[in-house]
Chains A and B, each alone.
Chain A
Amino acid sequence: MIVEQVQVRNQAGLHTRPASMIVREAARFSSDFFISKDGYEINGKSIIGVMTLAAEQGATLTLTFEGEDEVDAAKAIVKIFEEGFGEEL
């Protein structure tokens, strides 16, 4: 199991488009993927779940990966968070 802490860097927060990006990216891997914020945890492969996080700019999230390709999955997901989903920071 891999646990990573990330910050939401883009201005607009985890709105519809970034949420779609996360879910699409996560779907490429077989590992389980969870995101938690302030003790509320959701399945990172569920777009509805990701949106219910209502994570705005600056929010800290904990990402948990577990499965065969957890290393690659963690790397890929953390990367899109760091790039701010290609949006204005």
Chain B
Amino acid sequence: MRQESTYADSFESKKERIYDGLGVSRGIAIGPAYLYARDELHIDQHQIDDSEIDEEVSRFKRAVTRSLKELGKITAVAQEKLGSQSAGIFEAQSLMLKDETFLTSVEERIRNSHNNASFAIQSFISVSRSRMEASGSEYFQERANDLLDVQDRLIRNLHRGKLLSAIEPNSIVISSNLTAADIILFSRRNILGCATDFGGPTSHVSLMARGLGVPAVINIKKVTKNIETGDFVVLDGFNGRLIVNPSERTLTGYRRLQERYQELLENEKALVPLASETLDGECILLYSNLEFQEEVDLVGKYGAHGIGLFRTEFLFLMNGFHDYDEEAQYQTYKEIVSSISPKVTTFRLLDLGGDKMLPMSHREHNPFLGWRGIRILLDKPELLRPQLKALLRATVDGPLRILVPMVSHLKEIEQFKRILEEVKDEFRAKEIPFDEDVPIGIMVEVPAVAIMANRFAEEVDFFSIGTNDLTQYMLAVDRGNNMVADLYQELSPSMLSIIKLTVEAAERKGIPVSICGELASNPLATAVLIGLGVKELSASPTFLPEIKRVVRSVRRSEAELLAKEVLQIFDAEVRRKKLMKWIRNHAPDYYAFLCESEGSSAET
């Protein structure tokens, strides 16, 4: 306590500054900021001793090797997806890394002028760049950026392994952007929270931060420009705020909220072993959304019934598209399936496109209406077939379901099933064991599918409603666009109606249906969803206890009534009040927490 008050006193003279962003992982972090320069690599200049020369040269060489390896992978992906024209740029960058003149010059600078490697690299590159920039040709001025890319890549690799140890433990990491890999790395250093200039709510960083329970706020424009390492800050993951030099009053409010949230989490631990049942004894199945193998332990920790959605994109990204062949995939799937068996794992097939991981130079005017999900997989059997084979092989290791992303036409399912049948035939011929009845499901995220859910339900074994995309497509709103973000309403009557339609169609055909979008993790929505007939929810594991708390305070008849009422409310604010009131009446202690987290932001 003593130390805390000293903190506050010493910052009393400084003015409180508030930056707004988007809260993507809940919780409050209070502590010193640490500025993590990921994109703008800081290049320091220092002299090295004679004794350090050999090590510095080999560090440089290792960085070159690593950079070449990275570029090799990027070139291969670009080649495959976009053809040799685009891949040429990366090939040229590889040639630059093999440029003898460059390599010799850097080594000479290290040996003769005792420059550190980063500085030696920068010296050479900056001379070359300035020549190109001075050429008066727009084209060559732009190509100077290729050199800059090469330099950044090298310097990043030069520091690899060093960055981690540079991060102060128990600090709040501030960066212009973070990768999911960064977050994993940081979580090992016990970081308190993280804030970034950019990023989206469904980006992998956000998912990762939620999974690890690290408070995170993204999209705080220019936060990195306004903050310094060591600044004392409060990070509010509930309301998406970063407060620099908080006043005594602000700090007191946030400490209270932090304690309150801690209590809530403690209470939730007690909920983990309890059944996910409504007051009238109906079981609501709660599943986890995951995307990293490292997260699998969370399924047990948070008491999930299984994995409702395992996104496989990241497995490919982490392992490299080219190296992640059937055998490598099989190893991962097998390990995941057997570690949570007898609980079920639902693997979603590689879901590229939209905003996800197509090579940077593949640009579409309208990616969300373009080449994505199953559309890509059907065009690229070299991606689809190995994944199907690996998944089929893993069916003998435990219960496994296959989920097909971004279906919009019946024909796509027919084509997909034909390919699946061919793969099965091949297995039968080779006598490779697999589960003949492996369930095949589709993502319901396009209104065209939801409206015809009756027909689609005849073709598949289960549905998974992806509310994030469904909301975007249904309401014609890009949630990342600030101009229209307020129109993105997952609980609008149109959304509730289409969810109801889908759930009822599935019910009639006797196939299970789950909700796997963000809506599933919103405790305000839980009762309404149950009222619409939803019996399965899949969310990031850390949300499950909270959802369970609401489930355990619901009676079906009441939930149905609530759903009926909310279906008539077109005003988002009125709807919200209605749902808050419902929580107040049914889960009062949770309501107190919800109010507290909102009150804190009102005060500041």
Contact = CB atoms under 8 A, between A and B. Distances in A.
B143 A15 contact: yes
7 contacts: A17-B92, A20-B92, A47-B96, A48-B125, A49-B101, A51-B128, A56-B139
A13 B138 CA distance: 12
A46 interface: yes
A46 B146 contact: no
A19 B91 CA distance: 11
Given A47-B96, A54-B132, A54-B137, A16 B146 contact: yes
Contacts of B147: 48, 51
Interface in A6-62: 12-13, 15-17, 19-20, 23-24, 40, 43, 45-49, 51-52, 54, 56
Contact of B101 (A16, A17, A19, A43): A43
Given A20-B95, A54-B135, A48 B101 contact: yes
A49 B147 CA distance: 11
Interface in B87-143: 88-89, 91-92, 95-96, 99-102, 125, 128, 131-132, 135, 137, 139-140, 143
Determine chain A's interface SS by DSSP, over half rule. Answer: helix
B100 A12 contact: no
Contacts of A47: 92, 95-96, 99
A20 B102 contact: no
Main secondary structure of the interface of B (DSSP, over half): helix
B131 A54 contact: yes
Interface residues of A, number: 20
Contact of B89 (A16, A24, A43, A56): A16
A20 B101 contact: no
Contacts of A24: 95
Interface residues of B, number: 21
Given A15-B143, A46-B102, 15 more contacts: A16-B88, A16-B143, A20-B92, A20-B95, A24-B95, A43-B101, A45-B100, A47-B96, A47-B99, A49-B99, A51-B146, A52-B128, A54-B131, A54-B140, A56-B140
A49 B89 CA distance: 16
Nearest to B84: A17
Nearest to A17: B88
A13 B137 contact: yes
Interface of A: 12-13, 15-17, 19-20, 23-24, 40, 43, 45-49, 51-52, 54, 56
A56 B95 contact: no
B98 to A, nearest CB: 8
B124 to A, nearest CB: 8
Nearest to A12: B139
Nearest to B129: A52
A67 B542 CA distance: 69
A52 B140 CA distance: 8
A47 B102 CA distance: 9
A48 B143 contact: no
B108 to A, nearest CB: 14
B99 A46 contact: yes
A15 B141 CA distance: 11
A45 B104 CA distance: 13
A49 B127 CA distance: 11
Contacts of B92: 16-17, 19-20, 47
Nearest to A42: B101
Contacts of A12: 139
A56 to B, nearest CB: 5
The 3 closest A-B pairs by CB, nearest first: A54-B135, A46-B101, A54-B140
Contacts of A23: 95, 99
Contacts of B146: 16, 51
A40 B91 CA distance: 26
B99 A48 contact: yes
Contact of A48 (B102, B137, B140): B102
A43 B101 CA distance: 8
A24 B100 CA distance: 13
Which of B95, B132, B143 neighbours the largest number of chain A CB atoms within 10 Å of its CB? B95
Nearest to A49: B101
A51 B140 contact: yes
Contacts of B140: 13, 15, 51, 54, 56
Contacts of B101: 43, 45-46, 48-49
A15 B143 CA distance: 8
Q: Pick the most buried of B88, B92, B128, B146: most chain A CB atoms within 10 A of its CB.
A: B92
Given A43-B101, A46-B100, A52-B131, A13 B95 contact: no
Contacts of A56: 137, 139-140
Contacts of B95: 20, 23-24, 47
A56 B102 CA distance: 23
A40 B96 CA distance: 20
A51 B127 CA distance: 12
Interface in B143-165: 143, 146-147
A15 B100 contact: no
Contacts of A13: 137, 139-140
Nearest to B93: A16
B132 A51 contact: yes
A54 B128 CA distance: 10
